[in-house]
Amino acid sequence: MKVAIYSRVFEAAQKDDVLKLLHQLNEKQIEPVLYDSFYHQIRHLLPEDFSCSVFSSTHELNDQFECLISLGGDGTLLDTVTLVRDKKIPLLGINFGRLGFLASIGREELDSAVASLTNHTYVKEDRTLLHLESNLSLFGDTPYALNELAIQKLDTSSMIKIHTYLNGAFLNTYWADGLIVATPTGSTGYSLSCNGPVVFPDSGSFVITPVAPHNLNVRPIVVPDTNVISFEIESRSDSFLCTLDSRKEIVSKHVQLAVKKEGFNIQLIRLNENSFLQTLRNKLSWGLDRRN
Is residue 234 a contact partner of residue 228, using CB atoms and an 8 Å limit? Answer: no
Q: Which residues pair with 242 in a beta bridge?
A: 151, 249
For helices 15-27 and 110-119, what crossing angle results, to 10°? Answer: 20
Q: Which residues pair with 67 in a beta bridge?
A: 3
Strand-by-strand arrangement of the 169-176 sheet: 144-145, 130-134, 257-261, 229-234, 160-166, 169-176
Cα distance between residue 154 and residue 164, in whole Å: 19
Residue 235 half-sphere exposure toward CB, CA atoms < 13 A: 27
Between CA 258 and CA 268, with CA 262 as vertex, the angle to 5 degrees is 135
Cα distance between residue 98 and residue 268, in whole Å: 19
Backbone angles phi, psi at 86, to 5 degrees: -100, 25
* Annotation marks residue 74 as catalytic: yes
Is residue 179 a contact partner of residue 231, using CB atoms and an 8 Å limit? Answer: yes
- List own/partner pairs for 219-227 with CB under 8 A and 24 or more apart: 219/195, 220/191, 220/194, 220/195, 220/196, 221/171, 222/197, 223/166, 225/128, 225/130, 225/183, 225/261, 226/261, 227/166, 227/167, 227/260
Candidate list 17, 49, 63, 74, residue with the active-site label: 74
Is residue 144 a contact partner of residue 131, using CB atoms and an 8 Å limit? Answer: yes
Catalytic residues: 74
